[in-house]
Structure 1
Amino acid sequence: MTDPDTARPDVVSLAPSATATLDAIGASDRLLGATTHCDVDVPAVGGWLTPDYDRLAELDPDLVCTSDALQREIRDELDGRGYRVHHVEPATLSDVLDTFIAVGEAVGRPEAGETLRADAEARLDAVAERVAGKPRPVVYCEEWSDPPMAAGNWVPDAVVAAGGRYPFVEPGERSREVDAERVVDANPEYAILHICGRGERVDPGVVGERAWAVDPEVHVVDDSLLNQPSPRLVDGIERLAEILH
């Protein structure tokens, strides 16, 4: 393996969020490889939860990026194989913003990470100003449909930042299965479908087909806008604000 103390390390990203963040701070030129789920033109190194360790060894990176509790075993495997690993587990919107700085520091571009966070905060402040004083509708966000899963982690924060209310999961808690009674009691005015791995390829009629005595306005958004803890999440909050207000 090459020198792990290289100021500008060559990187393999095993997390789409890390790939998007590296691109946003101008460090995509350091990418040797990424997962098949990443939107970048570099060699594929397997899937998010199924990395190709042989291909990784061939690429010989200085740094490997992972993210989320679901990649802890991968992180540990990489540690055991002698790789330098940058691993993050953001749970809230604030955590996501912190990762921008952390990724920048990991790849020798701390100022770019700080600038990215500052820009994100400015955009969020602008959204807050636009929605201030307006009624806050109840919003149901679904990240999986079979069974229906109410989105957790940073999504509750995202809804609030966009000017809505989200009584389904507390910020920072994992997504959870939701039943009809919970949804009916909350009586959401909006349902946002952002199904993992589906992009915008989702039938909005799925909500109306259920025996739920609610009639929300249904919108489909690209799953990366809400499911990915990267700069895409700020895009998602701006999109939510447009929908709600």
Structure 2
Amino acid sequence: MAIGPRRIVCLTEEPTEVLYALGEQDRIVGISGFTVRPPIARKDKPKVSAFTSAKIGEILKLEPDFVIGFSDIQADIAADLVRRGVEVWISNHRSVAGILDYIRRLGALVGAADKAHAYADGLQRGLAAIEREAAALPRRPKVYFEEWDEPPITGIRWVAELIRIAGGDDIFPERALEPLAKARILEDPDEVIRRAPDIILGSWCGKKFRPEKVAARPGWHAIPAVRNGHLHEVKSPVILQPGPAALTEGVAEIARWVRAWAQGAPPQR
């Protein structure tokens, strides 16, 4: 006998990725148009939402018994569906521990608690291995991570934590306490100059990171990362969503750049 919801719509990528990883993808009847992981989901599942909007009529036609979204960004979508009698779960996890707990909770909701615990435990072991390797590095870089450029936004909590796990130190740790992007806007970009990061990582949601544009900002030539050519892109799909990708490919990419800097390797493009 099947346990839990059988017709799930995922308004963001992370529940889709988790359910596929748990072998529960047959429950998914609709996904976000921004989903790229796993690639087969884009081919197999109808795309019915974006980040801030959704095709409510199309979702209702799918007759979902459960819809999963994320944060205040999707509050209006959730309210619209709830008014139409749809059960909605809006998660609001923003830390590494929160991501692991999210995986366990989602697994329990679909009757796959054991598989979810095993999967989360595996991800946790992977993070621990990266942290052990980072502890052996000869030095720790100061890292500036930019999630948007106009205006500059920084300080996503799970990213700040992954930077630490990978062997670096986020230069804006206080901003990681702010859940909303508008509270993480850098009103004074010169503060980046003053905090002098050794590495700049960019992941501009929905568009390509342009290191040459960053380097050309007034006064930024004095930043060690700019001076030494350590400006790198981390692709948005592997870092900007609080799901398994951030704990695997995302942190691995951060660790690669941290390790190269710590070992004195020349910057790579």
TM-score (norm 2): 0.83
Aligned pair partner of 1:183 in 177, 185, 192: 192
Which residue type is aligned with residue 142 of structure 1?
Answer: E
Partner in structure 2 of residue 149 of structure 1: 153
Q: Does 1:202 align with 2:209?
A: yes
Which residue type is aligned with residue 48 of structure 1?
Answer: F
**What is the deviation of 1:138?**
0.3
Partner in structure 2 of residue 159 of structure 1: 163
Q: Does 1:99 align with 2:102?
A: yes
Q: Does 1:70 align with 2:84?
A: no
Partner in structure 2 of residue 33 of structure 1: 30
Distance 1:196 1:238 in 2: 19
Helix, strand or coil: the match of 1:139? strand
Q: How many residues align?
A: 239
Distance 1:121 1:6 in 2: 26
Pairing of 1:66-145 with structure 2 (within 5 A): 66-134=69-137, 135-145=139-149
Partner in structure 2 of residue 44 of structure 1: 47
**What is the deviation of 1:98?**
0.8
**What is the deviation of 1:15?**
1.1
- Does the 8 A contact of 1:91 with 1:172 survive in 2? no
Which residue type is aligned with residue 122 of structure 1?
Answer: R
Helix, strand or coil: the match of 2:19? helix
For each residue in 1:65-111, what CA deviation from the matched residue of structure 2 results, as whole angstroms up to 9, or x when unmatched? 11122112322222222112222101211111111111111222111
- Does the 8 A contact of 1:139 with 1:190 survive in 2? yes
Helix, strand or coil: the match of 1:227? coil
Aligned pair partner of 1:7 in 1, 4, 7: 4
Aligned pair partner of 1:237 in 247, 251, 258: 251
- Does the 8 A contact of 1:91 with 1:153 survive in 2? yes
Partner in structure 2 of residue 24 of structure 1: 21
Distance 2:189 2:223 in 1: 9
**What is the deviation of 1:157?**
0.7
Helix, strand or coil: the match of 2:191? helix
Helix, strand or coil: the match of 1:154? helix
Partner in structure 2 of residue 224 of structure 1: 237
**What is the deviation of 1:8?**
5.1
Which residue type is aligned with residue 149 of structure 1?
Answer: I
Distance 1:173 1:208 in 2: 27
Which residue type is aligned with residue 251 of structure 2?
Answer: I
Structure 2: which 5+ runs fail to align? 260-269
- Does the 8 A contact of 1:128 with 1:162 survive in 2? yes
Distance 2:206 2:135 in 1: 33
> Greater CA deviation, 134-143 or 149-158?
149-158
Which residue type is aligned with residue 173 of structure 1?
Answer: E
Which residue type is aligned with residue 180 of structure 1?
Answer: P
TM-score (norm 1): 0.91
Distance 2:26 2:6 in 1: 10
Helix, strand or coil: the match of 2:47? coil
State the percentage of identical aligned residues.
27
- Does the 8 A contact of 1:208 with 1:215 survive in 2? no
- Does the 8 A contact of 2:152 with 2:189 survive in 1? no
| Alignment RMSD (CA, Å) | 1.7
- Does the 8 A contact of 2:51 with 2:73 survive in 1? no
